Amino acid sequence: MRFNRIKMTLMAASVVFAAAAVALYGPAPETAAAQGAIVTLYKSKCASCHGVDGKANTAKGRESKTRDFHAEEVKKMSEAQMLQVTLKGKNKMPGFEKQLGADKCKELVAYIRETFK
């Protein structure tokens, strides 16, 4: 009987713990960590022109005539078109395929699409 109570307490505690973990880190901790890495990558490689808020309201953004990611022209672009620009570059936008690899570029485009809309 006493044993069962301890077992119940442990079970309840682990449920609370799991719920807290989900509340803190979202459904899958690995996903949250990957998302964090992409945010860091965006901030270090892209935000100097595109801005942390995607509005390109930075010195380099203005100088290179970078568009706001929220602009209609960007919204009309497909993910494939955005990926192409990220991989190969366009006008003042440098290509990142060699430096970051295609997979990271894809993740960055997905992040941009999801974050700035």
Q: With binding defined as CB under 6 A, does residue 54 bind ligand HEC?
A: no
Residue 86 half-sphere exposure, CB side, CA atoms within 13 Å?
Answer: 26
Pick from 29, 90, 101, 114: which binds ligand HEC (CB under 6 A)?
Answer: 90
Pick from 38, 39, 85, 87: which binds ligand HEC (CB under 6 A)?
Answer: 85
Q: With binding defined as CB under 6 A, does residue 92 bind ligand HEC?
A: yes
Pick from 55, 93, 106, 110: which binds ligand HEC (CB under 6 A)?
Answer: 93
Nearest Cα neighbor of 107 from 43, 30, 39, 49 is: 39
| Residue in the block written with tokens 């942390």 | 52
Q: With binding defined as CB under 6 A, does residue 60 bind ligand HEC?
A: yes
Question: Which amino acid belongs to residue 105?
Answer: C
- Inter-axis angle of helices 29-45 and 102-115, nearest 10: 90
- Give the span between the Cα atoms of 85 and 72, in whole angstroms: 17
Residues in touch with ligand HEC (CB under 6 A): 45-46, 48-50, 60, 64-67, 69, 74, 77, 82, 85-86, 90-94, 96, 108-109, 112
